[in-house]
Structure 1
Amino acid sequence: MNAIPENLPLIVSAFFILFARTGAVLMLLPVFSEDAVPGRIRLLIAFGMTSGIWPLQNEAALAVAQSGPLPAVLIAELLTGLAMGMIVKILFYAISMAGSIISMQIGLSAAMLFDPAQGSQVPLLSKFVTMAAAIVCMAMQVHHLWIQSIVESYNLFPIGGLPPAQDFAQMAIAAINRSMMLAVGLAAPLLIYGIVFNVALGLAARVAPAIQVFFISQPLNIMLGMALTAMTLGTVLTVFATEMGQAMLGGWR
């Protein structure tokens, strides 16, 4: 009547080897790592994803669990997962930086709130744009590519091996570079608007120096900036989600 397999400790060890990498990635993935998602829910998601990966990688995990020292393997898997999740998070920060640039251009940079995801104060508009980008990414199924990258990572980084620090460092540098370039590109319409508007204000101040032009024009700046943001936001979010998808498919070099 004893249905418990004899190698149950080995199976559990192999399962937690897979869980270490999957859970580490989910700790940093956009949307999944938000503080608004309860810790128990994130834990259940990680267990569910590990259960889905188990049929694909159970033989390799069992072999590593049987031959290698478990603590060293778990640490290597955690480091690999954290490195992968950090690359995706760096790329996702592009939309947050774009939102901060837009807030500065239209005069709303002083409207701040605390963002637990970044651990600091961020402009209100930046937080709104980040949340909208997460929704658009989910709607365009970019999160499927995030999850797919976890499965495919076992082909690139076999279980039990140390993460290639040099490769991850190069990937991080490339991700930071592309993230900053994408942020500036997404905020380009508002950057052009800010330059034109402030040049016009400077000329007006030279014509009528006795009038507080910058103080009087601030409501107009906010109104025009918000209108331009509303007109371009859909395109900005779509372009960002498309770029994120290309990044996960290896389109960023």
Structure 2
Amino acid sequence: MIDYTFTFEDLEFFLLVLTRISSFVFVAPFFSMTNTPRRLRAGFSLLVSVLLFNVLTDHSVPAYSTVLGYSIIVLKEAVCGLLIGLGANMCMSIVQFAGKVADMEIGLSMVQLFDPITRDGTGFMGSFYQYILILIMLITNMHYFFLRAIVETFTLIPIGGAKFSSEKIMTTTVQFLTDYITVSFRLCLPIVASMLLLNAVLGVLAKTAPQVNMFSVGIQIKIIVGLGILFLTMGTIPAASEFIFKEMRVMVTAMVNSMQ
């Protein structure tokens, strides 16, 4: 027979579960896209929390004596979900940085597009790389990994049991920044190298044919060559995406370990 009893302690536990899930959903990649309605994200967080509440067997809440004590537990759960989501979301900035470098070299840095994901102006190449990465993320079921990760944290980090280690978080962040710069430049290296070679050729032509306005001609040539190199190097994006997804797994795992 199914037990439908719901005590006040169960309500406290459910609110803590909802806090961790919702804080993760609002910052994690794909789930945190600002063009997704907030009601949809809130409803999704509530649905996952209800399902997870029925799966978890231990509904015990850490002892507290005042409202302030419970508020501190809620804050810890919110920070726990935020750190896990931000650990994965930071890896999305790799393609944005690579796109900005490519835009600057091609000459498209002055062209700003409205990005519905961040609700901010972004370059053409940055938006292109970002949408390709999101599509690959959906194809490879990477969004399921994020859901499994946040669900498994309730086993690894019980409610109210998060212990934040600034040293571990700092070490993980520094290692990520090293890989961040390396992968970004690898992604845009073909465009940067071709633009450097093209600038050298245009410089020689400007000396040999000073009557030709290389400034106006060079901008058009750089855009055509840059887009051509982008088309030829499209095959490297899946490999770069695989490395970025690997970094996401490492960052999420490291963030969870830093709170155990």
Give per-residue Cα distances to partners, 1:123-144, cap 9 Å, x unaligned. Answer: 1231132122111111111112
Matched with 2:185 is 184
Matched with 1:102 is 102
Kindly report structure 1 stretches of 4+ aligned residues shifted beyond 6 Å: none
Instruction: Provide the C-alpha distance between the structure 1 equivalents of 2:190 and 2:210, rounded to a whole number of angstroms.
Output: 29
Answer whether contact 1:100 1:126 (CA < 8 A) is retained: yes
Answer whether contact 1:133 1:240 (CA < 8 A) is retained: no
**3-state DSSP of counterpart to 1:111:** coil
Give per-residue Cα distances to partners, 1:24-56, cap 9 Å, x unaligned. Answer: 111111221111100111011112222333244
Instruction: Provide the C-alpha distance between the structure 1 equivalents of 2:135 and 2:184, rounded to a whole number of angstroms.
Output: 18
Matched with 2:218 is 217
Cα deviation, residue 119, structure 1: 5.5
Matched with 2:27 is 28
Answer whether contact 1:87 1:171 (CA < 8 A) is retained: no
Tell me if 1:63 matches 2:60: yes
Cα deviation, residue 116, structure 1: 5.4
Answer whether contact 1:53 1:151 (CA < 8 A) is retained: yes
Matched with 1:8 is 7
- State which drifts further: 220-229 or 154-163: 154-163
Answer whether contact 1:145 1:245 (CA < 8 A) is retained: no
- Tell me: CA distance 1:4–1:56, structure 2 relative to 1, closer, same or farther (3 Å): closer
**3-state DSSP of counterpart to 2:241:** helix
Instruction: Provide the C-alpha distance between the structure 1 equivalents of 2:176 and 2:44, rounded to a whole number of angstroms.
Output: 26
Instruction: Provide the C-alpha distance between the structure 2 equivalents of 1:206 and 1:89, rounded to a whole number of angstroms.
Output: 47
Identity of aligned residues (%): 20
Answer whether contact 1:91 1:178 (CA < 8 A) is retained: no
Give per-residue Cα distances to partners, 1:204-223, cap 9 Å, x unaligned. Answer: 22323343213212212111
Give per-residue Cα distances to partners, 1:136-168, cap 9 Å, x unaligned. Answer: 111111112222221232344332034414122
**3-state DSSP of counterpart to 2:182:** helix
Instruction: Provide the C-alpha distance between the structure 2 equivalents of 1:163 and 1:81, rounded to a whole number of angstroms.
Output: 13
Matched with 1:132 is 132
TM-score, normalisation: structure 1: 0.87
Matched with 1:175 is 176
Q: Map 1:74-223 onto structure 2 (within 5 A).
A: 74-115=74-115, 117-118=117-118, 120-166=120-166, 167-223=168-224
TM-score, normalisation: structure 2: 0.84
Instruction: Provide the C-alpha distance between the structure 1 equivalents of 2:55 and 2:169, rounded to a whole number of angstroms.
Output: 25
Structure 2 residue ranges without an equivalent (≥5): 255-260
**3-state DSSP of counterpart to 1:88:** helix
Matched with 2:244 is 244
**3-state DSSP of counterpart to 1:187:** helix
Instruction: Provide the C-alpha distance between the structure 2 equivalents of 1:172 and 1:152, rounded to a whole number of angstroms.
Output: 22
Matched with 2:258 is none
**3-state DSSP of counterpart to 1:121:** strand
The root-mean-square deviation of aligned C-alpha atoms, in Å, is 2.4
Answer whether contact 1:90 1:179 (CA < 8 A) is retained: no
Answer whether contact 2:21 2:150 (CA < 8 A) is retained: yes
**3-state DSSP of counterpart to 2:234:** helix
Cα deviation, residue 78, structure 1: 0.4
